[in-house]
Amino acid sequence: MVILSITRFIRGYVEFRATGSFPERLINLTIRRGINVYDTKGCDGVLTGRVPKSHFASLQKLGARCGVDIEAVKCGGVPFVFKNNINRWGLIPGAAVFLIICSVLSSFVWVVDVSPTPKVSEYKIRQELEKQGLYSGAWKGSLSPDSIERNTMINLGSFGWMSVNVTGAYARVGISEKYLPGDTQGEEQKPCNIKAKKDGQIVKMDVKSGSSVAKLGDAVTKGDLLVSGVVSTENGGDFLKPSIANVYAQTTLTKTVSQPLKYTQSLPSGKEVSRSLLELVGLKIPLGLGYIPSGEYVRHSEHLNFYAFDNQMPVGIYSENCTEYAMQEISLSESEADKVCMAQLALYEAFELFDVKIEDRKLTHKVKDNAYILTAEYTCIEDIGEVSYIGIDEED
3-state SS record for the chain = CHHHHHHHHHHCEEEEEEEECCHHHHHHHHHHHCCCCEEEEEECCEEEEEEEHHHHHHHHHHHHHHCEEEEEEEEECHHHHHHHCCCCCCHHHHHHHHHHHHHHHCCECCEEEECCCCCCCHHHHHHHHHHCCCCCCCEHHHCCHHHHHHHHHHHHCCEEEEEEEEECCEEEEEEEECCCCCCHHHHHCCCEEEEECCCEEEEEEEEEECEECCCCCCEECCCCEEEECEEECCCCCEEECECEEEEEEEEEEEEEEEEECEEEEEEEEEEEEEEEEEEECCEEEECCCCCCCCCCEEEEEEEEEEEECCEEEEEEEEEEEEEEEEEEEEECCHHHHHHHHHHHHHHHHHHCCCCCEEEEEEEEEEEECCEEEEEEEEEEEEECEEEEECCCCCCC
pLDDT for position 201: 94
Domain range summary for the chain, segments of one domain joined by +: 2-83, 111-177, 184-249, 263-330
Better-predicted residue by pLDDT, 328 or 282 = 328
Domain 2-83 indexed as CATH 3.30.70.260: yes
Is 80 exceeded by the pLDDT of residue 123? no
Judge if pTM exceeds 0.85.
no
pLDDT for position 42: 80
Per residue in 30-62, pLDDT (tens digit) is: 888 888 888 888 877 788 888 888 888 888 888
Total number of residues shown for the chain: 396
Averaged pLDDT, 182-200: 76
Per residue in 336-352, pLDDT (tens digit) is: 999 999 999 999 999 99
pLDDT for position 364: 95
Domain 111-177 indexed as CATH 3.10.20.310: yes
